[in-house]
Structure 1
Amino acid sequence: MNWRRCGRRAAQAQVVSTSVPDPDWSMLLDEALAEIFQRLPLPERLQVVPMVCKNWKKVACDPTSWRVIDMVPWIQQKMDAECMWEYDCEPVVDRLVKILVDRSRGQLRELRTMYVSDDAIEYMADRCPLLEVLTMQSSLGVTNKSALKLATMSPKLRHLDVSDCYNISKQALMAFGDNCPSLEWLGRNMVNQNATNHAFEMASSPPGGDEEAITMSRHYPRLKHLEMKKTCISDRGLRHLAIGCRNLQSLNVACCYVLSPKALDDVSRNCTNLREFTKPITPRMHISPNDFQATMLFE
Structure 2
Amino acid sequence: MENEVEEGSDSEWSELTRECLINILSRLTVDDLWRGTMLVCKSWFSAFKEPSLHSVFNLDPLFDSPRELPRWWSPEFEAKIDSMLRSVVQWTHIFLTQIRIRHCSDRSLALVAERCPNLEVLSIRSCPHVTDDSISRIAVNCPKLRELDISYCYDVTHKSLALIGRNCPNLKVLKRNLMNWLDPSQHVGIVPDEYLNACPQDGDTEAAAIARSMPHLEWLEIRFSKLSAKGLNLICQRCPNLEFLDLSGCANLTSRDIANASSSLAHLKDIKKPNFYIPRSVFHTERYGHWQLYDERFQTDVFRI
Q: What TM-score does the superposition give when structure 1 sets the normalisation length? A: 0.77
CA gap 1:58/1:143 in 2 versus in 1, 3 angstroms: same
| SS of 1:106 mapped into structure 2 | helix
Assess if the C-alpha contact under 8 Å between 1:226 and 1:252 holds in 2.
yes
Q: What do residues 134-193 of structure 1 show as CA deviations (whole Å, max 9, x unaligned)?
A: 100011101111111110000000000000000011001000000000000000000264
**Counterpart residue number, 1:17:** none
Q: Once superposed, what is the RMSD of the aligned Cα atoms?
A: 3.1
Whichever residue aligns with residue 164 of structure 2, its letter is F
**Counterpart residue number, 2:303:** none
- Cα distance between partner residues in 2 of 1:46 and 1:196: 31
Whichever residue aligns with residue 238 of structure 2, its letter is G
Aligned match for 2:260, one of 257, 266, 290: 266
Q: What do residues 91-117 of structure 1 show as CA deviations (whole Å, max 9, x unaligned)?
A: 111111100001113210001001111
Whichever residue aligns with residue 94 of structure 2, its letter is G
| SS of 1:134 mapped into structure 2 | strand
- Cα distance between partner residues in 1 of 2:68 and 2:24: 27
1:206 and 2:201 equivalent? yes
**Counterpart residue number, 1:181:** 169
CA gap 1:163/1:280 in 2 versus in 1, 3 angstroms: same
Whichever residue aligns with residue 222 of structure 1, its letter is H
Assess if the C-alpha contact under 8 Å between 1:224 and 1:250 holds in 2.
yes
1:109 and 2:104 equivalent? no
The offset of 1:41, in angstroms, is 2.6
| SS of 2:33 mapped into structure 1 | helix
| SS of 1:136 mapped into structure 2 | strand
**Counterpart residue number, 1:276:** 270
Runs of 4+ residues deviating >6 angstroms: 24-29, 79-82
Larger radius of gyration: 1
Assess if the C-alpha contact under 8 Å between 2:154 and 2:198 holds in 1.
no
Between the two proteins, the alignment pairs up a number of residues equal to 261
- Cα distance between partner residues in 2 of 1:276 and 1:196: 34
**Counterpart residue number, 1:159:** 147
**Counterpart residue number, 2:250:** 256
Task: List alignment gaps of at least 5 residues for structure 2.
Answer: 1-11, 279-284, 290-305
The offset of 1:87, in angstroms, is 3.0
1:145 and 2:133 equivalent? yes
- Cα distance between partner residues in 1 of 2:70 and 2:166: 41
**Counterpart residue number, 1:170:** 158
> Percent identity at matched positions?
28
**Counterpart residue number, 2:56:** 68
**Counterpart residue number, 1:132:** 120
Task: List alignment gaps of at least 5 residues for structure 1.
Answer: 1-23, 285-290
Assess if the C-alpha contact under 8 Å between 1:225 and 1:251 holds in 2.
yes
- Cα distance between partner residues in 2 of 1:133 and 1:34: 23
More helix, by proportion? 1
Whichever residue aligns with residue 237 of structure 2, its letter is I
Whichever residue aligns with residue 157 of structure 2, its letter is S
Q: What do residues 187-241 of structure 1 show as CA deviations (whole Å, max 9, x unaligned)?
A: 00002645698568558x625x111011111100000000011221221111111
Aligned match for 2:75, one of 72, 82, 87: 87
